Chains A and B, each alone.
Chain A
Amino acid sequence: MDMFGVGVTLLFGILNGFGYAMLLFLLSSGLTVVFGMLGVLNIAHASFYMLGAYFAYSVVQSTGSFWWGLLAAPVAVGVLGVLTERTLLRRAHRLGHGHELLLTFGLAYIILELVKWIWGTGSHPVSAPAVLDGSIRLVGGAYPAYRLFVCVFGLGVLVGLALLLFKTRLGMIVRAAVSDIDMVNALGFNVRGLFVGVFGIGAFLAGLAGVIAAPLLSVYPGMGPDMLVDTFIVVVVGGLGSLKGALIASFLLGGLQSFGVVIVPRLAMIFSFLLMTVVLIWRPMGLFGERA
């Protein structure tokens, strides 16, 4: 391969990794913040992601517009998240972490069966909007426009989330609650309201990831479980409860997948586990975590 070809491969590799990293970050950000506050890994988180994709499919089917799906589906999933917290998780919270974990585990199964019941077991297409359906000429190669959109959109959400968390009063309280929930409670803040809000936003982000992923991947009943492992790895590598960690771990995993396949394809199956093992040996609490 000539220098130019190497350059194109490098650029496309970076874009591929970036796109996947954005998807991972949308998913893991909600998961890690919820863990930070509630102390529970929400197994049903990837089910919210799957629901986002299926809702988007139904909305696109009935309205014919991807943008309506992008608007409506994450909101619907967010509302479901709020309902889940208020009706189920809150009751289990009193009984301890074990019950909460079991609850989300059961919920994941129920959602999976419901999805199969409503939408069937086959896979469904969601088309990217017409504007983004083609490809863009980039330094002598064609790159799918929708993938560029995923990169830009993900970056936008990332900036919005960072502003919300680090520049607003609400964000300050959430960050405080992640590091010490009891203290925040003692200071007189409405911790219950905070739980609901954060859980809802986490579900919203997972739903958003589902919509974004739908045209790239396939909408099928296994899509949640298939994504769950990578998401957990990102959260663990980044450090449980750390948003910054989730972001950096997403980029690490995205880059590793993208370039690893080119350099050592035989190890593709274990890249994510390799990353986790190496990081955990070096820092058992994850990159930015405070608890092991």
Chain B
Amino acid sequence: MRSSFALVCAIVLVASVAGSMGHPASAEGAEPIKVLGLDVLSGPFKDIGERYLLGVKFAVEEINGSGGINGRPIKLYLDDSQLKPDVAQRKAIKYILDDGVKIIMGFTGTHVAKAVAQVAAKHKVIVVQYSAEADELTGKDHVPYVFRLALTTSMHAAATTAAFADKPHKKFYLLNQDYAYGHDVAKAYKKSLDRLKPGWQLAGEEYHPLATKDFAPYIQKIIAAGPDAVLTGNWGSDLSVLVKQAGKFGVKVPFGHQFLSDPVAMREIGEAAIGHFTSEVYMLGVDTPPNREFIERWHRKFKDTENPWPEFTIGKAYNTTMFMAAALKKANSDDADAVIRAWEGMAYESLIGRQVMRACDHQVQTPVAVAEIVPGPGKFYPFPFTGRVTLVPAENVSVPPKETGNKRCE
């Protein structure tokens, strides 16, 4: 087992080296644009933060390798949010005041994203989110300095629902975690079912405590209700334990998920997830020329590491960084107001197709990848993993501006 500690050291080391030297000739001497990547690099979720920041780092290297932002290199700082809002705030302020950071990228955890948004508003720096999906971050709690290139909970639920749109499934069972996010997901699923599956029936709606150990009673209720499909937004152990135990009880109906395109989860869940569906703003199987080239570039460099393929976290972070770089080029400045003016309404040809940064809520409008889990070995991994990807068009997952709760959209 490779130690993740070494990986963190490597990230920090490489980042500091990449930041301090090796700028291409064209960018030499120009004032760098200072960017902070802030994510969880310790504790149980550190592998997620590490992978996101690897994606950011790879993108920054490519940007600097091809002349930077109109000749200015990006200087990247990386640090650990510890998944704690107060720690993330303190570190953000330190990098803004001591190092002159103008852009902060992140964050695993909605609570962390909210905390850093407050700092950004106060110090007039840009926040770029490749993660954290709670609707309100670009809805009622939106700070205009924040741009989100991740999906919202509502968009994510709509994309997963779209996987069932042209299929005969009618009766849906909703099983989610019993806290704010789980209830939001269930609400979003119901809303998108109303839109995409008129005449659908609710076979059951259930919420279980976080980190449930034994799903047997819940699975029994699903079997008794006899749905055509189960929809869930579960993550972490609630995702893997649910799917594995449902498989053992012989539940054959497909599940719709949000977080099954993660190879770390799929390595553990394995065959029990075959036939389930999942969606994400980036997946390895997205079959566009830029994505095929991106995957090849990554694999050439990292094939002998823990992350031989740029799976969803890495791809999301990379894509986010590249769209941000395009906006910075257009703004030709790292001044927050200039970046906001340039980025609002801007279109970008991304790995997954055309993305647009909606002007009023700074929420990216994007096609979303949907895929079924197919048996392994596949093109990327020896275990079952997402198969052929279908792209759900942006307008099918988009939340109308008036329904976002964002005052700027009224």
Contact = CB atoms under 8 A, between A and B. Distances in A.
Nearest to A1: B224
A123 B216 contact: no
Interface stretch (A220-228, A237-245, A284-292): A220-228
Interface string B184-211: 0000000000000000000000111101
A121 B4 contact: yes
Contacts of A221: 44
Contacts of B44: 116, 121, 220-222
Contacts of A260: 217
Nearest to A258: B217
B249 A268 contact: no
Q: Which of B3, B220, B245, B267 has the most CB of A within 10 A?
A: B220
B3 A124 contact: no
A268 B178 contact: yes
A161 B74 CA distance: 65
Contact of B248 (A20, A117, A119, A135): A135
Given A12-B220, A218-B240, A268-B178, A142 B250 contact: yes
Interface in B14-52: 43-47
B216 A147 contact: yes
A217 B47 CA distance: 20
Contacts of A119: 1
Contacts of A217: 213-214, 237, 241
A9 B220 contact: yes
B244 interface: yes
Contacts, number: 111
A141 B224 CA distance: 11
Interface string A1-43: 1000100010011001001100000000000000000000000
Contacts of A9: 220, 224
Contact of A268 (B208, B211, B224): B208
Contacts of A216: 214, 245
Contacts of A118: 1, 3
A19 B45 CA distance: 30
Contacts of B46: 121
A252 to B, nearest CB: 15
Contacts of A268: 178, 207-209
A261 interface: yes
A51 B210 CA distance: 22
B249 A144 contact: yes
A262 interface: yes
Contacts of A5: 224
A91 B215 CA distance: 42
Given A118-B1, A220-B44, A261 B268 contact: no
B105 to A, nearest CB: 22
Nearest to A126: B268
Contacts of A220: 44, 237
Contacts of B270: 125
Interface in B47-89: 47
Given A16-B217, A124-B268, A268-B208, A222 B237 contact: yes
Contacts of A125: 244, 267-270
A122 B157 CA distance: 25
Given A121-B45, A122-B264, A261 B217 contact: yes
Contacts of B267: 122, 125
A55 interface: no
A48 interface: no
A19 B264 CA distance: 28
Contacts of B207: 265-266, 268
B381 interface: no
Interface string B229-257: 00000000100110011001110000000
Given A9-B220, A216-B245, A123 B268 contact: yes
B231 to A, nearest CB: 17
Contacts of B241: 217-218
Contacts of B218: 261
A142 B214 contact: no
B40 to A, nearest CB: 10
A222 B244 CA distance: 18
B221 interface: yes
A123 B237 contact: yes
- List 4 A-B pairs, minimum CB-CB distance, nearest first: A261-B217, A144-B248, A16-B216, A142-B250
Interface of A: 1, 5, 9, 12-13, 16, 19-20, 116-125, 135, 141-144, 146-147, 216-218, 220-223, 226-227, 230, 257-262, 265-266, 268-269
Given A125-B244, A125-B267, 9 more contacts: A19-B214, A123-B268, A218-B237, A222-B44, A222-B211, A230-B213, A261-B218, A265-B221, A268-B208
22 contacts: A12-B220, A16-B220, A118-B1, A120-B3, A121-B43, A121-B44, A121-B46, A121-B47, A122-B47, A122-B267, A124-B268, A144-B245, A147-B248, A218-B240, A218-B241, A220-B237, A221-B44, A222-B211, A223-B237, A258-B216, A262-B217, A269-B209
